[in-house]
Amino acid sequence: MTDDSRSSVSRRRTLLGVGALVLGGLGGGIGAQRLFGDPTDDSGTGLDLDVETRDGGRTPTPTPSGADGADGPDSDGDDPGDGDAEAGSDTVEPSDGDRSSDGRDSDRSSRDRDGRTEESSGDGGTDETTDRAHLSLRRVSSEPVRVGNLLPGDSGTASFVVKLRGSEATLTVDGEVSDTDENDRTESERADGDDTASVGELQEYLRVTLWHDTAGRGERTSRDPVVYEGSLAGLSDLDGAALAGGRCVGPGTHRLGVEWALPDTVGNVVQSDSASFGVTVSAEACPDRLLRR
């Protein structure tokens, strides 16, 4: 073989080696782009949610001068509310953040309990579940608000601060009622016909209004959509109520306001009773958000 032939073979081998390196680099680059540059599955949404409970406390019933309290029985024999929405019934203006006289906790929060973070106090939020097969969905239960030892005419406020992060989502709300305790029966309760040993009646008489506080000011206006209005017992039937008309909302803070009131016509039957209430909020990432990612 001549020197020219050897030189030609060497050049061909060199060119083939360079070509293989170039093709390998292009293939590796394409593979890396598919692996790291196109997170189109649900886990790429970054959706996160938590709900903070703020107990505004109770506004006690003013005691008229010379009166001996508001312990009288229900003279008109009204039945307790049945939980149906009633426009304008027992509307209570928010208090100025008075603390509860029975020592209830406030400023509590409950995070999405999928193993990442939980900041809470009290017993609330234990029923929250996360759909691990569908990571674009989050469900978070609030810490409960507890009310008890109320007098007819007492009222109060609370709020649930929903913090959405990472993705646009639709928000829905479920109502939660728990710990409807009798707390023993006083003589006045027995005289007023209370014959239950463990379950109280407060939830049947307490009136509750839950609304979407769109301005975030803690005061209900005519523009704020009412999510539920009725007896506290009926709040437990609230299931999947859509906020913002079911539209996708962006990451940020969304507030739910609560006003509650015990009508002054209620007798001694609820004298020692107590109850707790809260919400479960669900956030589902919007499909177009998943497609854009």
Closest CA to 268 of 60, 81, 67, 69: 69
**Inside any domain, residue 67:** no
241: its two tokens: 């109520």
Q: Do both 114 and 229 map to the same domain?
A: yes
**Inside any domain, residue 72:** no
The span from the CA of 21 to the CA of 116, in Å, is 44
The span from the CA of 132 to the CA of 43, in Å, is 10
User: What is the per-residue pLDDT for 133?
Assistant: 44
Closest CA to 83 of 235, 199, 227: 235
The span from the CA of 147 to the CA of 280, in Å, is 19
**Inside any domain, residue 69:** no
The span from the CA of 243 to the CA of 210, in Å, is 12
Closest CA to 277 of 217, 206, 185, 227: 206
CB 225 within 8 A of CB 211: yes
User: What is the per-residue pLDDT for 218?
Assistant: 85
How many domains in the chain? 2
pLDDT in tens, the chain (293 residues): 555 555 565 666 666 565 555 455 444 443 333 222 333 334 456 899 999 999 998 888 765 544 444 444 443 444 444 444 333 333 333 333 333 333 333 344 444 433 333 333 334 443 334 444 455 899 999 999 999 999 999 999 999 999 999 999 999 999 999 999 876 655 555 555 555 555 788 999 999 999 999 988 888 999 999 999 999 999 999 999 999 999 999 999 999 999 999 999 998 888 889 999 999 999 999 986 544 44
Q: Do both 133 and 178 map to the same domain?
A: yes
User: What is the per-residue pLDDT for 81?
Assistant: 43
**Inside any domain, residue 227:** yes
Residue listed under structure tokens 């990442």: 116
CB 278 within 8 A of CB 168: no
Range of the structural domain that residue 19 is part of: 1-38
Provide the β-strand partners of residue 50: 111, 163
**Inside any domain, residue 241:** yes
Q: Do both 20 and 120 map to the same domain?
A: no
CB 52 within 8 A of CB 161: yes
Q: Do both 177 and 115 map to the same domain?
A: yes
Q: Do both 181 and 226 map to the same domain?
A: yes
User: What is the per-residue pLDDT for 111?
Assistant: 43
Q: Do both 13 and 143 map to the same domain?
A: no
Give kind and range of the element (H or E) at residue 16: helix 3-36
Provide the β-strand partners of residue 138: 283
Closest CA to 48 of 132, 166, 133: 166
Task: Give the count of beta carbons closer than 10 Å to the beta carbon of residue 276.
Answer: 22
Q: Do both 87 and 197 map to the same domain?
A: yes
Q: Do both 159 and 26 map to the same domain?
A: no
**Inside any domain, residue 123:** yes
